[in-house]
Chains A and B, each alone.
Chain A
Amino acid sequence: MSPLDFFAWLGDSDWSTNLHESRYAYPLIESVHVWTMAVFFGSVAMFDLRLMGMIMRKVPLGEVVRRLLPWTIAAFAVMVVTGTLLFFAIPLRSYQNIFFRSKMLLMVLAGLNVWIFHSRVFPKAIDAEAAAAPPRAARIAGALSLVLWTGIVFSGRMIAYNWFDCDRQPQPDIVNFLTSCVPGE
C-alpha cells in the first residue's frame, strides 16, 4: 500500500470522517492547538532570548530552565496530540500540502537543535554561568530555535492558504514532485 493509498484510506475511515464532518470537535481541537501554541512559543521565546543573553541575564540559566521547561513540555505534548488529530481529520490533503511538509521538515531541524543543545551545549553553558555572556554555542542555539519555531508557526498557518493543491493543475513538475501530486488524478 503506497502512502497515498494509505492516507486516502485513513481519510475515508469512520473516525476521520466524524472528525472532518464534525460541528464542534474540529474547531475545538484547532483552538486547543492554537492556545497551547501560545504557551509553547511564549516559553520557548523567553528561553531562547535568555540563551542569547538578551533578557533575565541575572537569573541563573538552570533556574530559567527549571521554571519554563515544564510549561514548554506540557504545551508541546498537547500540541502533538491535537496536531495529530488535525492531520488525522484530513490526512491525504495534509500529506500532499507543501506547507505541511515544510513544517515537518523544520520540526525535525528544531528537534535536532534541542537534542544537540541539551546533550552538548547546555552542560557547558551552566559551567560558564559565572561569565558575563552565555557561550557562543548557546547564543547560536537560542537564535536557531527562535528562527525555526517562527518558521514552523508560519508554515502551519500557511497550510490553510496552500496554492499548490494537487487539484490545482497545471503546477510545475518540481511542485508535483515535492507534493507527491499525480496530475490528472
Chain B
Amino acid sequence: MRTGLAIGVGALGLLVSGWTSSASAHHAFAAEFDANKPVNFKGTITKMEWTNPHSWLHVMVMQPDGTAVNWAIEAGTPNVLFRRGFTKDTLAPGTEVVIDGYQAKDGSNRANGRDLTLPDGRQLFLGSSAGAPYELPPGQ
C-alpha cells in the first residue's frame, strides 16, 4: 500500500519535472501561433531585438488606406540567425523587407517569421519555434 503510494507520488513527480524541463527549446510554435493564419507583407524595419531566447523584428507596414500598422515578428536565437547568414546589422532600421510568417492565435499583430526577403533579393530564413509548419516534411 505504502510502496504503491510512493511509486505513484514518484511517478507524478517525474512526470511533472520531466514535462516542465524537457522543452528546453523554449516555447513551441503551436503555443502561440496559428499555422492556418499565414501572413505576407512588405514593411520597413523599425527595430531589431537581437536577443535570446527568441529574436524579435519590429516592422512598420503601410496599409492600402495609408495608415501604418506595427507588427512584431518572432525569429530564432542570435546563434541560429548567425548561422543562416544574419548579423546584428543586416536588419538596420529603415530596411525594406518582405516577411512571410504565421499570425498569433490571439489575432494580435505578432507573427512567427518564416522567410525574410531583403531589397537585393536575398532571402533569409527566420524560423524559430519547434513544431512550425515549415518543419514538416514536404507534402504534409
Contact = CB atoms under 8 A, between A and B. Distances in A.
A87 interface: no
The A contact surface, by secondary structure, is helix
Interface string B64-93: 000000001000011100100000100000
Contact of B27 (A89, A154, A160, A167): A160
B13 A54 contact: no
B88 A24 contact: no
A55 B127 CA distance: 47
B36 interface: no
A161 B24 CA distance: 12
Interface string B24-44: 101100011000000000000
B79 A153 contact: no
A31 B22 CA distance: 11
A138 to B, nearest CB: 16
Contact of B6 (A27, A49, A153): A49
Nearest to A156: B20
Contacts of A21: 50-52, 78, 88
Contacts of A26: 52-53, 77
B136 interface: no
A160 B24 CA distance: 10
Contacts of B52: 20-22, 26-27, 89-90
A23 B24 contact: no
Interface string B42-68: 000000001111000000000000000
A53 B24 contact: no
Interface residues of A, number: 32
Contact of A54 (B2, B23, B31, B32): B2
B130 interface: no
B131 interface: no
A41 interface: yes
A34 B82 CA distance: 25
B21 A153 contact: yes
Given A26-B77, A154-B20, 19 more contacts: A20-B52, A21-B78, A22-B52, A22-B78, A26-B52, A27-B52, A27-B77, A27-B79, A34-B21, A34-B24, A45-B10, A45-B17, A49-B10, A55-B6, A146-B9, A150-B16, A153-B20, A153-B21, A163-B106
28 contacts: A20-B51, A20-B52, A21-B50, A21-B88, A23-B78, A26-B53, A27-B77, A30-B53, A34-B21, A49-B9, A52-B9, A53-B2, A54-B6, A55-B6, A90-B52, A146-B13, A150-B13, A153-B16, A153-B17, A153-B21, A157-B20, A157-B23, A160-B26, A160-B53, A163-B32, A167-B72, A168-B106, A168-B108
Interface of A: 20-24, 26-27, 30-31, 34, 37-38, 41, 45, 49, 52-55, 89-90, 146, 150, 153-154, 156-157, 160-161, 163, 167-168
